[in-house]
Amino acid sequence: MSAAAVDTRTNLAGIELRNPVLTASGTFGYGTEFKAFMDLRRIGGFVAKSLTLEPRFGNPPPRIAEVRAGMLNAISLENVGVEAFITEKLPEIPEGVPVIASLFGTEIPAYADVAKRLTGVPKVAGLEVNASCPHVKAGGIEFGQNPLVLAELVRTVRAATDAPLLVKLSPNVTSIAEMAKVCEAEGADGISLINAVQAMDVDVRTRRPLLKNILGGFSGPAILPLALRMVYQAAQAVKLPVCGIGGITDAEDAIKFLLCGATAIQVGTANYTNPMAAAEIADGIEAYAREHGYATTAELTGALETA
Ligand SMILES: Cc1cc2nc3c(=O)[nH]c(=O)nc-3n(C[C@H](O)[C@H](O)[C@H](O)COP(=O)(O)O)c2cc1C
- Nearest atom in ligand 1 to 195's CA: 19
Q: Which band of pLDDT confidence, cut at 50, 70 and 90, is reported for residue 50?
A: very high
Share of the chain above pLDDT 70, in %: 96
Residue 268's nearest CA partner among 113, 128, 82, 118 is 128
Q: Which residues of 117-147 are buried (b: 16+ CB within 10 A; e: fewer)?
A: bbeeeebbbbbbbbbbbbbbeebbbbbbbeb
Instruction: Answer for the pair 10, 43: CB distance below 8 angstroms, yes or no.
Output: no
Chain centroid offset of residue 229 CA? 16
What is the residue type of 129? Answer: V
What is the residue type of 281? Answer: I
What is the count of structural domains for the chain? Answer: 1
Residue 1 placed within a domain: no
Cα–Cα distance between 139 and 260 in angstroms, integer? 30
Q: Which band of pLDDT confidence, cut at 50, 70 and 90, is reported for residue 69?
A: very high
Nearest-5° Cα angle at 254, 251 to 257: 155
- Whether the CB of 26 sits within 6 Å of ligand 1: yes
DSSP state of 126: E
Cα–Cα distance between 122 and 137 in angstroms, integer? 33
Residue 57 placed within a domain: yes
Instruction: Answer for the pair 247, 190: CB distance below 8 angstroms, yes or no.
Output: no
Question: Domain containing 220: what range?
Answer: 10-300
Predicted pLDDT of residue 135:
62
Predicted pLDDT of residue 106:
86
pLDDT at 1 over 50: no
Predicted pLDDT of residue 118:
98
Residue 25 placed within a domain: yes
- Whether the CB of 25 sits within 6 Å of ligand 1: yes
Q: How far is the CA of 224 from the centre of ligand 1 (A)?
A: 13
Q: What is the pLDDT of residues 225-235, one digit of tens each?
A: 999 999 999 99
Residues in contact with 87: Cβ distance below 8 Å, sequence separation at least 6, in sequence order: none
Residue 2 placed within a domain: no
Q: What is the pLDDT of residues 12-47, one digit of tens each?
A: 999 999 999 999 999 999 999 999 999 999 999 999
Instruction: Answer for the pair 22, 282: CB distance below 8 angstroms, yes or no.
Output: no
Whole-number average pLDDT of the chain: 95
Which residue's C-alpha comes closest to atom 5 of ligand 1? 26
Residue 235 placed within a domain: yes
- Whether the CB of 49 sits within 6 Å of ligand 1: yes
pLDDT at 2 over 70: no
Chain centroid offset of residue 251 CA? 17
Q: How far is the CA of 122 from the centre of ligand 1 (A)?
A: 25
Predicted pLDDT of residue 138:
57
Cα–Cα distance between 253 and 269 in angstroms, integer? 13
- Whether the CB of 73 sits within 6 Å of ligand 1: yes
The single residue of 133, 183, 243, 260 carrying the catalytic annotation is: 133
Residue 259 placed within a domain: yes
pLDDT at 60 over 60: yes
pLDDT at 141 over 90: no
Residue 83 placed within a domain: yes
Per-residue pLDDT, averaged over 264-284, amounts to: 98
Residue 211 placed within a domain: yes
Residue 256's nearest CA partner among 295, 289, 301 is 301
Predicted pLDDT of residue 164:
98
Domain at 135, CATH number: 3.20.20.70
Residue 248's nearest CA partner among 295, 192, 167 is 192
Residues in contact with 108: Cβ distance below 8 Å, sequence separation at least 6, in sequence order: 143, 149, 152, 153, 156
- Whether the CB of 221 sits within 6 Å of ligand 1: no
Cα–Cα distance between 119 and 73 in angstroms, integer? 30
**Mutation pick for ligand 1 pocket among 22, 27, 66, 257 (CB with most ligand atoms within 8 Å):** 27
Predicted pLDDT of residue 3:
64
What is the residue type of 24? Answer: A
Residue 45's nearest CA partner among 223, 266, 194, 255 is 266
What is the residue type of 139? Answer: G
Residue 111's nearest CA partner among 167, 27, 59 is 167
Predicted pLDDT of residue 100:
98
Annotated catalytic, 243?
A: no
pLDDT at 111 over 80: yes
Q: What is the pLDDT of residues 154-206, one digit of tens each?
A: 999 999 999 999 999 999 999 999 999 999 999 999 999 999 999 999 999 99
pLDDT at 218 over 80: yes
Instruction: Answer for the pair 74, 212: CB distance below 8 angstroms, yes or no.
Output: yes
Which residue's C-alpha comes closest to atom 18 of ligand 1? 195
Q: How far is the CA of 293 from the centre of ligand 1 (A)?
A: 34
Per-residue pLDDT, averaged over 51-72, amounts to: 95
Predicted pLDDT of residue 136:
63
Chain centroid offset of residue 51 CA? 14
- Whether the CB of 195 sits within 6 Å of ligand 1: yes
